[in-house]
Amino acid sequence: MDVSTKFLVSFVTFLLFIFSRAQRSNSTNKNSIELGSSIVAGTNSSWKSPFGDFAFGFYPLVSTHYLVGIWFDKIPQKTLVWSANRGDPARIGSTNNFTVKGQFLLQHVNRTSVLIDNEFRFTDTILPGQTLNMGQMLFSNANGTQDYSTGQYKLEVQKSDGNIVISAFRFADPGYWDSKTNSNTSVRLIFNNKTSFLYAVNGTHNIFNMTTEVPNPVENYYHRATINDRGNFQQLIYLKEGGKDWTVIWQAITQPCTVNAICGVYGFCTSPDNSTVNCSCLPGYTSFDPNSLSKGCYPSVAVDFCAANANSSASNFTVEQIQNADIPNNIFFDLQRIDSSDLDSCSKEVMNDCFCMAAVLIDSVCYKKRTPLLNARISIPETSNRVTLIKVPQVLQEDKNDSPSRVVLIVEGQHVPYLLLCLQLLLSIIIQHFVIS
């Protein structure tokens, strides 16, 4: 396998990195990739790295399509670490040709062939020996081992300032975790192949440590660092002999609800144990897909609070309170900030401002929020003692003497008569979790 210098920062270099020992030891080694050879999706054929730890080939998906990728081949999970076509899986019978020119060509069935990008791009994982330079990034998968296409989260060593930032990039999110290494130059995120430590350096100094401890000897483990579909950047190990699964040894996020947009627009995040994520909808909102609450929620009923006849009369809605909850965002994204406020006056602000659907009271400051609402959460201790206030339409009033927290929502016009009774019951249960009145 002869590689000329023009591929220096290329995909082939990355492959050489994984397959390096084959190249060094013996060029006629059976494990190296022969010029002019090819493999076919669906035949289980792949090119293996020298000791068989990694394979490069067609990776089968649950969708019965294939990704051209590299995976840990000796473990039952066959964990994928990189793929060339994550958003465009190939069908059975597609071929991957290593041409005599030293290029990889993906020949889709019944489609024109595509050159596998010479510019190597990481997907969601880095391995020991690799570094992320300024401007380079990792993108999470959409859904674990089910959907490897690009998901919601990005880790980037920012070109602008050297800060390492994790963000929900589809929402123009400024980030929910960072290394605070801004104002440095020549920053690189290193995954050291001797110590298996992850850390950041600038030109001269170690400026940020991630890993604190790795079990010894490190050669007895497989190592990877991955940004997952929950927006967490984690370092994981797998015992080579007799290991059963990946174990997390370091992670950026220790409270899952601090990940921005995790429950989607109008979603509400709680975590009973700092490990599982419980997504629900804010009061007055309904989930798009009850099986996938991260897709977010929409208003259960469309009300024009600013219509002339609405008259901003408080009788059309209530303002619900959620204790110990916040809707944090960058302060410049708020609609308005009112100092020297309290629960009463903050509530009135939400009531009397027809543009405002929510506010959060922190100490004596009332932050009125822009819509659509994102990042609503309970994440103790950060959100302790904060009160979230949500405007909830009160479309049908049962009885004027009823407690103000009793609300009935209409889900969709035509089913209303049948749903009303059930909804009333259901909502009175749900609302108990949100309302303290």
Ligand X SMILES: *[C@@H]1O[C@H](CO)[C@@H](O)[C@H](O)[C@H]1NC(C)=O
For the CB of residue 105, give the shortest distance to ligand X in the complex, in Å.
5
The candidate with the shortest Cα–Cα distance to 237, out of 246, 228, 250, 229, is 246
For the CB of residue 79, give the shortest distance to ligand X in the complex, in Å.
17
* Distance linking the first and last C-alpha atoms of the chain: 73
Q: What is the DSSP letter of 369?
A: P
For the CB of residue 162, give the shortest distance to ligand X in the complex, in Å.
7
Amino acid at 272: P
Residue number, 366 or 389, with CB nearest to ligand X: 389
Q: What are phi and psi of 256, to 5 degrees?
A: -60, -25
For the CB of residue 335, give the shortest distance to ligand X in the complex, in Å.
21
**For residue 306, what are the contacts with CB-CB under 8 A and spacing of at least 6?**
312, 354, 355
Coil, strand or helix at 415: helix
Q: What are the residues facing 287 on neighbouring strands?
A: 297
For the CB of residue 337, give the shortest distance to ligand X in the complex, in Å.
27
Give all strands (DSSP E) within 20-136, no chain letters. Answer: 38-40, 46-48, 54-60, 66-72, 80-83, 95-98, 104-107, 114-115, 125-126, 131-133
For the CB of residue 43, give the shortest distance to ligand X in the complex, in Å.
5
Decide: 31 and 121 in contact? Cβ < 8 Å. no
Residue number, 4 or 185, with CB nearest to ligand X: 185
Give all strands (DSSP E) within 116-197, no chain letters. Answer: 125-126, 131-133, 137-143, 147-157, 164-167, 177-178, 188-191
Residue number, 113 or 385, with CB nearest to ligand X: 113
Query: Which residues would be at the binding site for ligand X (CB under 6 A)?
Result: 26, 28, 38, 42-44, 91, 93, 95, 97, 105, 107, 109-110, 113, 129, 143, 146, 180-181, 183-186, 193, 202-209, 254-255, 270, 272-274, 278, 280, 291-292, 294, 303, 307, 309-310, 313, 315-316, 380-381, 433
For the CB of residue 72, give the shortest distance to ligand X in the complex, in Å.
16
For the CB of residue 358, give the shortest distance to ligand X in the complex, in Å.
16
Residue number, 51 or 365, with CB nearest to ligand X: 51
Whole-angstrom Cα distance, residue 387 to residue 310? 27
Helices H / strands E in the chain, number of each: 4, 30
